[in-house]
């Protein structure tokens, strides 16, 4: 009986997802297919008469270039650094929003304000804050550092900008997971003598594991495609070029549609690989809960 119910629920889930899946397919299928097609050609808009089919030569050129691997490393540094900090701060903010008793709406609204600000505006604000002439960070710290002219200090500013901008989004997703933790279990753990730390790590965190995975999935995919913040603050200078910046330079600056499309397709494949990794982990998490 339960097996029949599971099949009917699965069928209903597919029916509910089908309209959205079809809409996404119609919107994304053509651009992705066209990008793959362009990536197989030597196609430079500056020399349109020299267009020729080259197969996988563009991909070979990208993957054998040190620029691609350096930009990929830069992207991973920004992604891992920002998402790791956002997870910790987001959890703290989620706990605060979940437990606050007075002015709950005001607290939640104020925490979410940075996420409502346009990314370019946030990037410019942080750029001006760290400017050695007009900024206020150096006077506060008693320093005379040109933050965006050195590689690692530029990375620090970029990561801090991303953390400030998107931690509220992480906190909002984690707050949804916190609301699913039964209060009865927490009360029972408290009666059994578990400390606040033990209740969090042994009761709360395991029960909101799926919410944490979903939050990490969305933020990792978003951070991996970072473009706005880096472009506004450094334009990829000082060794901070990301893979999205590389694609921008190939497509827009150099008008090389073939090479730029190859970079875009590789970014798409990286995003798919990250998504599959997280979905696999999320599926394993659901399977473990079913067995339990």
pLDDT digits (tens, 9 = 90+) for 185-242: 888 888 888 888 888 888 888 888 888 888 999 999 999 999 999 999 999 888 899 9
Q: Based on the structure, what is the number of domains in the chain?
A: 1
pLDDT of residue 106: 78
Whether 262 maps to a domain, the answer reads: yes
Sign of CA dihedral 186, 187, 189, 195: positive
Rounded mean pLDDT, 89-99: 88
Q: Which residues pair with 42 in a beta bridge?
A: 52
What CATH number is associated with residue 233? Answer: 1.10.3720.10
Reading the block at residue 150, the tokens are 């050195």
pLDDT-derived band of residue 3, with 50, 70 and 90 as boundaries? low
Indicate whether 291 pLDDT > 80.
Answer: no
Structural domain that includes position 100: 64-291
pLDDT of residue 64: 92
C-alpha pair distances (Å), 228 with each of 26, 53, 239, 244? 27, 33, 16, 9
Q: Which residues pair with 256 in a beta bridge?
A: 44
Out of 43-47, 96-100, 272-276, pick the least confident. Answer: 96-100
Indicate whether 72 pLDDT > 70.
Answer: yes
Whether 249 maps to a domain, the answer reads: yes
- How many percent of the chain have pLDDT more than 90? 42
**Which span out of 79-83, 171-175, 188-192 was modeled with the highest average pLDDT?**
79-83
Whether 2 maps to a domain, the answer reads: no
Whether 96 maps to a domain, the answer reads: yes
Higher-pLDDT residue of 18, 122? 122
Rounded to the nearest integer, the mean pLDDT of the chain is 86
pLDDT of residue 1: 47
pLDDT-derived band of residue 81, with 50, 70 and 90 as boundaries? very high
Whether 236 maps to a domain, the answer reads: yes
d(Cα 148, Cα 159) in Å, to the nearest integer?
12
Whether 9 maps to a domain, the answer reads: no
Out of 61-75, 95-109, 118-132, pick the least confident. Answer: 95-109
C-alpha pair distances (Å), 15 with each of 19, 23, 144, 149, 234? 8, 14, 60, 53, 46
Whether 248 maps to a domain, the answer reads: yes
- How many percent of the chain have pLDDT more than 70? 92
d(Cα 121, Cα 161) in Å, to the nearest integer?
11
pLDDT of residue 7: 66
| 112 contacts 172 by C-beta, under 8 angstroms | yes
Whether 53 maps to a domain, the answer reads: no
Rounded mean pLDDT, 60-73: 93
pTM summary value: 0.86
């Amino acid at each position: 009986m339960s097996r029949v119910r599971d099949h009917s629920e699965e069928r209903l889930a597919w029916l509910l997802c089908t309209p959205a899946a079809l809409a996404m397919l119609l919107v994304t299928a053509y651009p992705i297919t066209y990008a793959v097609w362009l990536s197989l050609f030597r196609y430079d808009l500056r020399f349109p008469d020299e267009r020729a089919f080259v197969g996988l030569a563009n991909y070979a050129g990208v993957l054998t270039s040190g620029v691609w691997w350096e930009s990929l490393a830069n992207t991973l540094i920004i992604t891992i650094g920002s998402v790791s900090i956002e997870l910790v701060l987001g959890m703290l903010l989620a706990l605060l929003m979940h437990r606050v008793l007075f002015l709950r709406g005001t607290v939640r609204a104020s925490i979410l304000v940075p996420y409502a600000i346009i990314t370019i505006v946030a990037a410019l604000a942080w750029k001006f804050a760290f400017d050695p002439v007009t900024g206020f960070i150096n006077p506060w710290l008693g320093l005379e550092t040109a933050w965006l002219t050195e590689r690692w200090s530029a990375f620090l500013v970029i990561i801090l900008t991303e953390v400030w901008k998107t931690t509220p989004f992480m906190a909002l997703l984690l707050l949804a997971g916190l609301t699913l933790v039964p209060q009865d279990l927490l009360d029972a753990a408290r009666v059994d003598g578990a400390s606040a730390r033990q209740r969090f790590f042994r009761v709360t965190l395991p029960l909101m594991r799926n919410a944490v995975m979903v939050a990490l999935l969305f933020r990792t995919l978003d951070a991996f495609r970072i473009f706005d913040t880096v472009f506004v603050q450094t334009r990829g200078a000082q060794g901070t070029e990301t893979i999205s910046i590389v694609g921008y330079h190939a497509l827009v600056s150099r008008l090389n549609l073939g090479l730029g499309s190859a970079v875009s397709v590789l970014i798409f494949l990286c995003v798919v690989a990250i998504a599959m990794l997280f979905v696999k982990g999320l599926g394993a998490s659901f399977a473990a809960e079913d067995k339990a």
